[in-house]
Amino acid sequence: MIALRPLADADAPAIRRVYSGATITFLARPAMTSQEAEDYVVRVREWAAADPVEQYILGVDVAGDLVGVVKLGRRPDGHGRVSYVLREDCWGQSYATKAVKELVVFAFTTAGLDSLGAKHHPDNPASGRVLAKVGFTRLGIQRGMIEYHLAARP
């Protein structure tokens, strides 16, 4: 059973595990330290409390195990940007696809967005598969990244 949920202070060690190993290969960042993970969950909760919310970050919870995060950035023009990060030992079990599907529903209902965009590095085809399976359309390469789009159904 997979669920998206807000992050709590107690999630910091799990977040640190997510941002480590092979998972950070395409994220252009080093592995997260314990302090960075603690700061991260505090920052995420501050963003969640903003009005309006510009950045949603939700934990991907599988039977009580926090295996990753999904992110939704909101632009004032009704467009949102989607991204996702899964802990390495949880890859290949459709968790990212299920989580992004839930995030898309959230984006077009609770967040009230009209369209979504996402991108991935050309050397990261698994990320492209996730977007394709969720229904995103591939637009082409922009600034070295493969860009995708999804519009809300009328």
Ligand X SMILES: CC(C)(COP(=O)(O)OP(=O)(O)OC[C@H]1O[C@@H](n2cnc3c(N)ncnc32)[C@H](O)[C@@H]1OP(=O)(O)O)[C@@H](O)C(=O)NCCC(=O)NCCS
CA atoms of 54 and 104, how far apart (whole Å): 16
Q: Does 26 bind ligand X (CB under 6 A)?
A: yes
For residue 125, the SS3 value is helix
Q: Does 116 bind ligand X (CB under 6 A)?
A: no
Number of residues that bind ligand X (CB under 6 A): 21
Q: Does 19 bind ligand X (CB under 6 A)?
A: no
Give the per-residue contact string, 40-79, with ligand X (x = CB under 6 A; - = no): ----------------------------------------
- Burial of 53-91, coded b for 16+ CB within 10 Å and e otherwise, reads eeebbbbbbbeeebbbbbbbbbeeeeebbbbbbbbeebe
> What residues line the site for ligand X (CB under 6 A)?
23, 26-27, 83-86, 91-97, 120, 124-127, 129-130
